[in-house]
Amino acid sequence: MSDYRIPIEGILMVNQFDYLSKRNVFSPEVEALVDVATGKRLTYRAFNRRANQVANFLQHEIGFQKGDRLCILAHNSLEYWESFFGCQKCGGIFSPLNWRLVARELAGLVNDLTPSMLFYDSELASVVSELKKEVSVDHWVSLDSKGTEVEGSLVYEEVVDNAATSPPQPVDLSYEDPMGIVFTGGTTGFPKGAMITYRQVAFNTLSTIRDILPGDVYINHLPLFHVGGLYVYAIPLFILGGRVVQLKRWDLDTIIEAIKKENPNFFFAVPTQYRMLMNHPDFRSIDFSNVRFLTSGGEPLPMDIIKTFREIHKVKFKQGFGMTEVGPGCFALDPWDAERKIGSIGTPNFFIDAKVVDPETGKDCTANEVGELLFKGPTVTIGYWNRPELNETLLDEDGWFRTGDMVYFDDEGYYFVVDRVKDMFISGGENVYPREIEKLLEQHPKVAQVQVIGVPDEKWGEVGRAIVVLRSGEEASEEEIIQYCSGKLARFKIPKSVRFTDSFTQYTSGAGKILKRKLREDFGNEEESPCQSPK
- What's the gap between Cα 357 and its chain centre? 27
Residues 6+ apart with CB under 8 A from 76: 220, 221, 223, 224, 229, 246, 247, 248, 249
Give the residue from 223, 175, 212, 218 showing the smallest Cα distance to 196.
Answer: 175
Residues 104 and 166 in one domain: yes
Please provide the DSSP assignment of 337-355 as one string: GTTTTTT--BEE-TT-EEE
Question: Would residue 481 count as lying in a domain?
Answer: yes
Residue 234: strand, helix, or coil: helix
Cβ–Cβ < 8 Å for 450, 438: yes
Count of alpha carbons within 13 angstroms of residue 272, beta-carbon side: 17
Residue 446 belongs to some domain of the structure? yes
Residues 161 and 254 in one domain: no
C-alpha count within 13 angstroms, C-beta hemisphere, residue 495: 30
What is the secondary structure of 53-64 as a DSSP string?
Answer: HHHHIIIIII--
| Cα 230 to Cα 238: distance, rounded to the nearest angstrom | 11
**Cβ count within 10 A of residue 532:** 12
Taking the C-alpha atoms of residue 353 and residue 380, their distance in angstroms, rounded to an integer, is: 10
DSSP string, 478-528: HHHHHHHHBTTB-GGGS-SEEEE-S-SGGGB-TTS-B-HHHHHHHHSS---
Could you tell me if 501 and 392 lie in one domain?
A: no
Same domain membership, residue 494 and residue 390: no
Q: Tell whether omega for the bond before 328 is within 30 degrees of 0, i.e. cis.
A: yes
For 410, other C-beta atoms within 10 Å of its C-beta total: 12
> Which of 399, 419, 439 finishes a domain?
419
Q: What is the pLDDT along the chain (535 residues), one digit of tens a residue?
A: 444 444 545 455 557 899 999 999 999 999 999 999 999 999 999 999 999 999 999 999 999 999 999 999 999 999 999 999 999 999 999 999 999 899 999 999 999 999 999 999 999 999 999 999 999 999 999 998 776 678 889 999 999 999 999 999 999 999 999 999 999 865 455 789 999 999 999 999 999 988 899 999 999 999 999 999 999 999 999 999 999 999 999 999 999 999 999 999 999 998 878 988 998 999 999 999 999 999 998 777 888 899 999 999 999 999 888 999 998 999 999 989 988 998 899 999 999 999 999 887 899 999 999 889 999 999 999 999 999 999 999 999 999 999 988 889 999 999 998 766 567 788 888 878 787 888 899 899 999 889 999 999 988 989 999 999 998 899 999 999 999 999 999 999 999 999 999 988 888 754 456 778 789 889 987 654 443 344 3
Q: Are residues 263 and 134 in the same domain?
A: no
In this structure, the answer to whether residues 404 and 433 fall within a common structural domain is no
434-493 confidence digits (pLDDT tens): 878 888 998 999 998 899 999 999 889 899 999 999 988 999 999 999 999 999 999 999
Q: How far is CA 267 from CA 270, 278, 299, 496, in A?
A: 10, 15, 16, 30
- Its domain, for residue 92, covers 44-173
Q: What three-state secondary structure class fits 364?
A: strand
In a shared domain, residues 435 and 405: no
Measure the CA–CA gap between 474 and 124, rounded to whole angstroms. Answer: 38
Measure the CA–CA gap between 332 and 343, rounded to whole angstroms. 12
Query: How many alpha carbons lie under 13 Å from residue 124 in its C-beta half-sphere?
Result: 24
Output the domain CATH number for residue 231. 3.40.50.12780
Give residue-wise pLDDT tens across range 282-316: 999 999 999 999 999 877 788 889 999 999 999 99
* Residue 70 resides in a domain: yes
Q: Is residue 18 in some structural domain? A: no
Contact assessment for residue 309 and residue 274, using Cβ atoms and an 8 Å cutoff = yes
Q: Is residue 431 part of a domain?
A: yes
Domain end position, chosen among 380, 400, 419: 419
Q: What is the dihedral of CA 486, 492, 496, 502, to 10 degrees?
A: -80
Q: Tell whether the torsion through CA atoms of 327, 320, 360 and 409 is positive or negative.
A: negative
Q: How far is CA 81 from the centre of its chain?
A: 15
Q: Where are the beta strands (DSSP E) in 143-177?
A: 154-155
Same domain, 405 and 275: yes
CATH number of the domain to which 435 belongs: 3.30.300.30
Whether residues 79 and 219 share a domain: the answer is no
Residue pair 298/426 in contact (Cβ under 8 Å)? The answer is yes
326 shares its domain with 454:
no
pLDDT at 517 (0 to 100): 78
44-56 and 78-89 helices cross at what angle (nearest 10)?
A: 60
Complete edge-to-edge strand list for the sheet that includes strand 415-419? 353-357, 371-376, 401-409, 415-419
Q: Would you say 170 and 146 are in contact if contact means Cβ atoms under 8 Å apart? A: no
The answer to whether residues 169 and 276 belong to one domain is no
Asked, for residue 142, whether it belongs to a domain, the answer is yes
Nearest to 454 by CA among 421, 425, 485: 425
- Interatomic CA distance for residues 110 and 71, integer angstroms: 8
CA distance 417 to 407: 4
Query: Which residue intervals of 241-288 are DSSP H helices?
Result: 252-262, 271-278
How many domains is the chain built from? 3
125: domain CATH number is 3.40.50.980
In a domain, 459, yes or no: yes
- Residue 377 sits in the same domain as residue 434: no
Model pTM score = 0.83
Half-sphere exposure of 3 (CA within 13 A, CB side): 0
Last residue of a domain, one of 419, 443, 470: 419
Largest CA distance in the chain: 89
Identify whether 533 is part of a domain: no
Distance CA 62, CA 391 (A): 31
Phi, psi of 404 (to 5 degrees): 85, -5
